[in-house]
Amino acid sequence: MVMMTKTKEHGLIGALTEVVEVSNQDLIQENANVDGASPMGQMSKFGSEAAKFFAKEKLLSEDVLQMMEDNYIHPHDLDFYPTGTTTCAQIPLGKILKDGFNTGHGFMREPNDIMSAMALSSIIFQSNQNMQHGGQSYPMFDYDLAPYVEKTFEKHLTRLKSYPTTWTENELVNIAWKEADRSTYQACEAFIHNCNSMHSRGGGQVPFVSINYGTDTSKAGRMLMKNLLLATKAGLGNGETPIFPIQIFKMKQGINFYEADPNYDVYQLALETTAKRLFPNFSFIDATCNKVHYDGSKESEVSYMGCRTRVMANRHGSENSIERGNLSFTSINLVKLGLISQSEDEFFRRLDRVIDVVVKQLLERFEFQAKKKARHFSFLYGQGVWKNSEQLNAEDEVREVLKQGTLSVGFIGLAEALVALTGEHHGQSTSADQLGYQIVSFMREKVDQASERYDLNFSLIATPAEGLSGRFTKKDREVFGVIPGVTARDYYTNSFHVPVYYAIRAIDKITIEGKFHDLCNGGHISYIEVDGDVTKNTQALDVLVKAMAKADIGYGSINHPVDRCTSCGHTGIIDTACPTCDNHDEEKIERIRRITGYLVGDMKKWNSAKRHEESQRVKHQKGLAK
């Protein structure tokens, strides 16, 4: 039995009381895609707060706890630590569909057409979500589903040939492909609707899912991508923008980058779709961080989780994303280190010590995860989601399988740390930019050393801070007060980003942030904010995507306003009143924005720090840096 001190007991009871009373938005909406005020959301939060308490009492070392108490580090998903779950997984969809799978309530055989294949793809996502505390992704969505488009074509062709007809063989083939095209659109439409309606984790949320595609040049693969984008562009039943799946379009020279490339037309449709629906985001196979793993095979193409997580390098197997994922990650508060350091040398000495403690904590968590049995995660390991996991017996430990995953050191607030150290952030001066690069390079060197020392896949991740962006700031402000450019706002800037409030040209932001992508091998993302109705100017989006590629960005996205009037269904930019029905009620306006790589359909679900951050985002398409 865990023995609580009165102070700790009061803290836990206080948090649970706030859950019951739904009185603390930042507590119940740490995750913007979970309705924390719903019964299942409250139950989940009850369990979350108790699990975090248990982890602190029983699973964390004293020096780790002290670093947390002193606001230097934050182990993410601490509430899931006692369960031994892993963060995310890149699921081998093609293999699972072909072999069939068991959800625990019966066996699902290989589908015979694209409608069934897409339906089962949704079920796989839903079943696997309960095995992970983070997200999940399909790394080769186009390649994996193209065979089922082919099967659909064959079914239509066989049926047509059974009719008495004067059509020629070529005419029959063309008609069969047209019918396969319609079937594929319906399958994509159903898949998108499923991703936004089916629930997991006790009904508390829809699965957090991502799909990667863009490079299959086959007729069937191109047909799938075209219809997926068209269905996304069309939206949900009332024209709503689909929040899931997070879509990542893989850019590759010779495939879809240039006008003469075979999938250039699909890329153009991707631009039109992101102009209307904010998805897809764009990844770059030719970026330095990704091309080093590329050997020409589809399996070696980079894939991302929508929020930014990336898994490629591997000391224990093939260097690709498939059947692998992140095990856990812990973030460092660079701002606190900057505030207490009297010199750059002192900052690096302190950072060195903090990283050592984080590495120790990640190793301790790995040891806890590794001792779990395969039977504890029946779908994750029993269905072969992780590499070689299907070879495990029910009572086998999962250590050898998990060695394929990554342990990530994250960071937040590079910009504010630079202001604390030099008076300027990396968007304001070349010297601050150079120091920022040295800091991130130092962290990467430390995680590389940890990989060598412990023979595990340590990586550096540009943290997707959601709840953390305000949590670190609040505690630092209590100690240091309000410091302009450092603690004056309710949030710290994500990872290596130039602050969202800083006026800077798009090309300058892309150039500054691009060099950090290669250093952050555990995941990264860069955003550009644009204004106005970009559906009328997809050429401008093309320029931005090509600029990202030139700046060596691995993964990027373009943000712009997408609003919807719930009274009449109008979708577009809504200022104070709906241009269609003249609705002035802000409660009836859904404002869809990107939060850390994914979308949220209602900003009312954001925590206060992220709402503050969003309100201060400036547009980047014009204006010189100040």
pLDDT at 599 over 60: yes
State the pLDDT at residue 207.
86
How would you label 504-521 residue by residue, b for 16+ Cβ within 10 Å and e otherwise?
bebbebbbbbbbbbbbbb
For the chain, percent of residues with pLDDT exceeding 90: 72
Whether the bond into 82 is cis, omega within 30 of 0: no
> Cβ(279)–Cβ(225) under 8 Å?
no
> Cβ(34)–Cβ(204) under 8 Å?
yes
Tell me if 440 is assigned to some domain. Answer: no
Q: Which residues contact 223 (CB under 8 A, 6 or more apart)?
A: 149, 177, 180, 181, 184
Pairing of strands 589-594, 562-565: antiparallel
State the pLDDT at residue 574.
86
Domain C-terminal end among 277, 310, 343: 310
State the pLDDT at residue 4.
43
1-5, 94-98, 125-129, 166-170: range with lowest mean pLDDT? 1-5
pLDDT at 470 over 50: yes
State the pLDDT at residue 625.
39
| Element (DSSP H or E) covering residue 146 | helix 141-161
> Cβ(621)–Cβ(609) under 8 Å?
no
Place of tokens 């701002």: 335
Which comes out higher in pLDDT, residue 306 or 192?
A: 192
| Element (DSSP H or E) covering residue 136 | strand 136-138
Q: Taking residues 556-562, what's their average pLDDT?
A: 89
- Give the tokens for residue 79: 């509430």
What is the maximal distance between C-alpha atoms in the chain? 87
Q: Domain check: are 222 and 94 in the same one?
A: yes
pLDDT tens digits, one per residue of 71-82: 999 999 999 999
Tell me if 31 is assigned to some domain. Answer: yes
- Give the tokens for residue 81: 């630590």
Tell me if 7 is assigned to some domain. Answer: yes
Tell me if 204 is assigned to some domain. Answer: yes
Instruction: Provide the pLDDT confidence category of residue 16 given band limits of 50, 70 and 90.
Output: low
State the pLDDT at residue 557.
95
> Cβ(470)–Cβ(609) under 8 Å?
yes
Domain C-terminal end among 293, 310, 327: 310
How would you label 446-483 residue by residue, b for 16+ Cβ within 10 Å and e otherwise?
bbeebbeeeebbbbbbbbbbbbbbbbbbebbbeeeeee
Instruction: Provide the pLDDT confidence category of residue 19 given band limits of 50, 70 and 90.
Output: low
Q: Taking residues 601-611, what's their average pLDDT?
A: 63
Which comes out higher in pLDDT, residue 70 or 595?
A: 70
Which amino acid, residue 511?
Answer: T
**H, E, C per residue of 53-118:** HHHHHHCCCHHHHHHHHCCCEEECCHHHHHHCCECCEECCHHHHHHHCEECCCCEECCCCCHHHHH
Q: Which residues contact 188 (CB under 8 A, 6 or more apart)?
A: 118, 224, 227, 228, 230, 231
The domain total for the chain is 2
State the pLDDT at residue 28.
54
Which residue segment(s) compose the domain that 174 sits in? 88-310
State the pLDDT at residue 623.
39
d(CA 309, CA 302): 11
> Cβ(571)–Cβ(239) under 8 Å?
yes
- For residue 609, count other CB atoms closer than 10 A to its CB: 23
- Arithmetic mean of pLDDT over the chain: 90
Question: On the CB side of 156, how many CA atoms lie within 13 Å of its CA?
Answer: 22
- Give the tokens for residue 553: 């960005």
pTM: 0.91
State the pLDDT at residue 360.
98
pLDDT at 609 over 70: no
State the pLDDT at residue 202.
59
Which comes out higher in pLDDT, residue 198 or 360?
A: 360
Instruction: Provide the pLDDT confidence category of residue 561 given band limits of 50, 70 and 90.
Output: confident
The length of the chain is 626
State the pLDDT at residue 54.
87
Domain C-terminal end among 247, 282, 310: 310
Tell me if 364 is assigned to some domain. Answer: no
State the pLDDT at residue 96.
97
pLDDT at 624 over 50: no
Q: Domain check: are 36 and 121 in the same one?
A: no
| Residue 448 to residues 151, 168, 370, 457, Cα–Cα distance (Å) | 46, 63, 21, 9
CATH of the domain at 252: 3.20.70.20
Tell me if 155 is assigned to some domain. Answer: yes
β-partners of residue 231 are none
pLDDT at 109 over 70: yes
Q: Domain check: are 96 and 224 in the same one?
A: yes
Show the DSSP H helices in 455-566 as ranges: 468-480, 506-517, 538-550
pLDDT at 36 over 90: no
Tell me if 342 is assigned to some domain. Answer: no
Place of tokens 């409608």: 115
- For residue 379, count other CB atoms closer than 10 A to its CB: 21
Instruction: Provide the pLDDT confidence category of residue 468 given band limits of 50, 70 and 90.
Output: confident
Q: Domain check: are 265 and 217 in the same one?
A: yes
d(CA 619, CA 500): 9
Q: Domain check: are 111 and 158 in the same one?
A: yes
| Element (DSSP H or E) covering residue 225 | helix 219-234
pLDDT at 626 over 60: no
pLDDT tens digits, one per residue of 455-467: 999 999 999 876 6
pLDDT tens digits, one per residue of 492-531: 999 999 999 999 999 999 999 999 999 999 999 999 999 8
d(CA 188, CA 182): 10
Tell me if 159 is assigned to some domain. Answer: yes
d(CA 447, CA 570): 49
Q: Domain check: are 102 and 191 in the same one?
A: yes
Q: Domain check: are 178 and 301 in the same one?
A: yes
How would you label 20-45 residue by residue, b for 16+ Cβ within 10 Å and e otherwise?
eebebbbbbbbbbbbbbeeebbbebb
Which comes out higher in pLDDT, residue 566 or 192?
A: 192
pLDDT at 3 over 60: no
d(CA 192, CA 236): 8
pLDDT at 287 over 60: yes
Q: Domain check: are 140 and 21 in the same one?
A: no
117-121, 203-207, 341-345, 420-424: range with lowest mean pLDDT? 203-207
d(CA 244, CA 36): 19
Q: Domain check: are 148 and 24 in the same one?
A: no
| Element (DSSP H or E) covering residue 409 | strand 406-412
Let me know the angle formed at the C-alpha of 356 by 355 and 359, rounded to the nearest 5 degrees.
85
Q: Domain check: are 32 and 138 in the same one?
A: no
Q: Domain check: are 221 and 123 in the same one?
A: yes
Which amino acid, residue 341?
Answer: S
State the pLDDT at residue 572.
77
pLDDT tens digits, one per residue of 120-172: 999 999 999 888 888 999 999 999 999 999 999 999 999 999 999 899 999 99
Instruction: Provide the pLDDT confidence category of residue 22 given band limits of 50, 70 and 90.
Output: low
Q: Domain check: are 205 and 154 in the same one?
A: yes
